[in-house]
Structures are given as structure tokens and as C-alpha cells.
Structure 1
Amino acid sequence: MTGLNTRIVAPSSALGESERLQQGIALLRSWGHTIRSAPDPERHWGYYAGRDAERLADFDGKAELWACARGGWGAA
């Protein structure tokens, strides 16, 4: 499963550490994946990775692989 068009989303908790996100992106790229979008690690609304509309907008687009940057509260 290499060379996939990949979108990273943050449907739950705020990211906090951009270094960990960048490490994950680097790992996916080392596997040959193309990163089409990634969430802004500075974006947050309370404990969440943005308002509902912002987190939903992260899913706008096509991808062969969807990766969640972080789990936690707020995905339901």
C-alpha cells in the first residue's frame, strides 16, 4: 500500500504538538504516500481541534488513505 493520495484529519482533540504531526507526515512520506492536506496544529476550540464546521471541512476532498492525527473526544 504505497504511493497513496493521503489526507490527514483531526476529528477529535486538539493536536497540541506540531512536532509529532510532522514526524507522522515524514513517516507517511517515507512509505511513498503523498500528503494532500493536514490539519493546522494551532487550530483549536476548547479541547477540540477546531469548531465542528472546521473539523468537518477537513474531510472535504478525495483520498485513497485517510489518517487521523489524533483520537479523543469529539468525533461522535
Structure 2
Amino acid sequence: MVTVYEFDGSARIHRLRSYYDKLAIEEQIAASLPGIKGWLLRKVTRVLLAQGRTGLETPTGPPPTGVS
């Protein structure tokens, strides 16, 4: 979970927002479910996690050169 505080000019909290990692929560729930329902939810959660991570891996080579 991440909580974001926005302050106004007088240093008072203007807005407060919280963001949750919904897939991580769903994965924890799936891990606790028995039987076919838990198995199916774990499979779906793993697919969603894999799709969400696509493109997030950092390259292992040197950074590209000549990029403007």
C-alpha cells in the first residue's frame, strides 16, 4: 500500500489518497482457498501478475547511446 499526502500552502493536508496492490491481496486470498476454487484463482492471479510485469524488467546490457 502507498499513501499519498498532498499539502496546501499552509502546510495542512489538502488530500489523502491510498493505493493498494490488488493483485497481491488477491494472491494472498487465493493461497488460503482450498480445492479447485483456490487453484483456479491462483492460476488467474499468476497470469495477471505476469501480464502486469511485462515490460518492467530492466535490460542487462549497457544503456543505449545517441538517444535524444
Answer 1 or 2: which has greater helix percent.
2
Does TM, normalized by the shorter one, top 0.5?
A: no
TM-score (norm 2): 0.24
